[in-house]
Amino acid sequence: MEGTVTPNADVPTSSRIARHIAMIAVCMVMFLTFMDMTIVSVAIGSVQSHLHAGVSQLQWVVNGYGLTFASFMLLGGTLGDRLGRKKIMLGGLLLFAAGSLLGALAPNPDVLIGGRVIMGIGAAASEPGSLSIIRHMFPDRRVRARAIGTWAAVSGLALAFGPVIGGVLVALASWRGVFWFNVAAALLIVVLAVRTVPESSSPQTARLDIPGFIAGTMGLGALTFAVILGETDGFHSPLVIGLFLIGVVALIGFVHIERASTSPLLDLAYFKSSRFTGAMIVAFILY
């Protein structure tokens, strides 16, 4: 996304060391938020034995994170563009750490699920702006291409390494070790990023696209929820079918709202670019 860059006068963003540290921090954001899609799966047995959680509760321990992550990601990216990508990223990381802390201290499954939901909202705020931050840190096209390639590779490794890291943490410190690891990792990233990552934004005077946010969140949330429930209730379940219909209708409404909006959450004109559309299709298939 295009935008203006507002460098922090106290941060040596021009130095190579600072830029390398900033790049590490941004990639760690991607790694941590994507890793948590899979890291908890290996801790489910430990959660069940310690908290006596039922099957439905265990399912939501895993899926509560992904549902909120997917539903609020579009809003997180938009707020970053308007208010400052670094600011929203750091705020999201602190919220992610707070949710992880709640999960680590959870006395019952319901509190643990609440912690996972909070973590998902934090991830949705911190992850979307990471690519835009990289774009502004590396104005040279060739250097930027290598940086983006690294960023993309990290996202794939995170999903694969999640169960491995989770298994080690569960073996060393039970399922709570997974959440303490998240707390420590999120705070470490904040420390690295606060003095090295440059601030950037795309200032806009138009009002936030609230109807688009509602329609987009409802559509993404309903479709994600339908897939989650379909795994247990069956895809022929009336509730699952209803959620799919709500999701499709909401997303159709979202497209109409964005086409008419003067300040859309998602500028549909980007899809006229074959490179942009192709990248989105590849990302959708990959994830």
pLDDT tens figures, 233-273? 889 999 999 999 999 999 999 999 999 888 888 888 888 88
Contacts of 68 (CB under 8 A, 6+ apart): 117, 120, 121, 124
**pLDDT recorded at residue 287:** 65
Whether the per-residue pLDDT at 10 is higher than 50: the answer is no
pLDDT tens figures, 176-212? 999 999 999 999 999 999 989 988 887 776 788 889 8
pLDDT tens figures, 266-276? 888 888 888 88
In the CATH scheme, what is the homologous superfamily, with its name and number, of domain 11-203?
MFS general substrate transporter like domains (1.20.1250.20)
Show me where the domains of the chain are located: 11-203, 207-287
CA distance 36 to 140: 32
Whether the per-residue pLDDT at 3 is higher than 50: the answer is no
Rounded to two decimals, the pTM is: 0.83
